[in-house]
Amino acid sequence: MLNKQPIGIFDSGYGGLTVFRSIADQLPDYDYIYLGDNARAPYGNRSFNTIHEYTWQCVQMLFEMGCPLVILACNTASAKALRTIQQRDLIHEDPSKRVLGVIRPTAEVIGNYTQTKQIGVLGTKGTVQSKSYLIEINNFFPEVKVHQQACPLWVPLVENGEHDQPGADYFVKKYLDQVLAKSTEIDTLLLACTHYPLLQGKITAYLPKHIKVVPQGDIVAASLKDYLNRHSEMEQKLTKGHTRQFFTTSDDTDDFDHHASMFFSEQVKSEYASLK
């Protein structure tokens, strides 16, 4: 495996596969390793320290598997662990390695989607509490007002395969009502959680027609493409064998494969990665 230098994609579980789908579509030639920490997912309600500890452990596993570049395809991990990893851990471990998240690339462009300059950001409790989107979007678009909404029941709905069932409608409506009550001027809703694209059909059906729903997979993939164009020292390290390997920290790889195909829109065969 070490003769390959794949791009590592990390998520707390399955959700990052929606981001990986877009990355694999836009950058098909590279080798990839996906790692889902399903044994300890979801991360959404966990503390800052725990999310950092778990994320850094998984990033190190991806480094050991040969990845010089790791994407945290998880909003919660990007919000709560990325800064410490970039500013502290990497310097001790190996400064030539890179870890990138999903929040900054999304914040860089989301302001271009709104006419009214009012955006709703839907995420996990952890992402919302971190205020990362609020801060990052206001860095790039100071004129945009950001209304955050935590949707803590949406991840469990998706994880339990209930997202396309009639019972999900109640919880979709509940959080959309809450965010829309914050301002009548919102014309853009950002799905700032990897699981929410699976609810996009129900979300769109419930909203007034003038409100745009923006998932982030394509945005993150376009940003990675741009990053690799600008960083030839990293681009040249990465191998291009068009392989995709999937690892999960859960010992039930069949269960992972079953769920993963739903998120990745393709059959997946995973291997078990044991947490030390």
Token pair 């989607």 is found at 113
Residue 67 falls in the annotated catalytic set: no
DSSP calls for 201-231: HHHHHHS-TT-EEEESHHHHHHHHHHHHHH-
Structure-block tokens of residue 90: 């990497």
- Helix 217-230, helix 16-26: angle, nearest 10: 50
Closest CA to 30 of 10, 11, 4: 4
Residue 151 falls in the annotated catalytic set: no
Query: Is 133 among the residues that bind ligand DGL (CB under 6 A)?
Result: no
Asked if residues 210 and 151 have their Cβ atoms less than 8 Å apart, the reply is no
CB nearer ligand DGL, residue 4 or residue 246: 246
Active-site choice (58, 67, 151, 193) = 193
Closest CA to 94 of 234, 228, 232, 227: 234
Count, residues near ligand DGL per rule CB under 6 A: 17
Angle at 131 between CA 127 and CA 134, to 5 degrees: 115
The site string for ligand DGL over 15-34 (x = CB under 6 A, - otherwise) reads x-------------------
Query: Is 43 among the residues that bind ligand DGL (CB under 6 A)?
Result: yes
Query: Is 263 among the residues that bind ligand DGL (CB under 6 A)?
Result: no
Question: Which of 7, 41, 99, 122 is the binder for ligand DGL (CB under 6 A)?
Answer: 41
Active-site choice (58, 67, 74, 151) = 74
Query: Is 74 among the residues that bind ligand DGL (CB under 6 A)?
Result: yes
Asked if residues 5 and 239 have their Cβ atoms less than 8 Å apart, the reply is yes
Query: Is 38 among the residues that bind ligand DGL (CB under 6 A)?
Result: no
Query: Is 217 among the residues that bind ligand DGL (CB under 6 A)?
Result: no
Binding positions for ligand DGL, 136-165, rule CB under 6 A? 155
What phi, psi does 270 have (nearest 5°)?
-100, 165
Alpha-carbon torsion, ordered 196, 52, 72, 123, to 10 deg:
20
**Rounded to the nearest whole angstrom, what is the least distance from the CB of residue 123 to ligand DGL in the complex?**
6
Query: Is 105 among the residues that bind ligand DGL (CB under 6 A)?
Result: no
Binding positions for ligand DGL, 75-94, rule CB under 6 A? 75-76
Query: Is 215 among the residues that bind ligand DGL (CB under 6 A)?
Result: no
Residues taking part in catalysis: 74, 193
Give contact residues for ligand DGL (rule: CB under 6 A): 11-13, 15, 41-44, 74-76, 124, 127, 155, 193-195
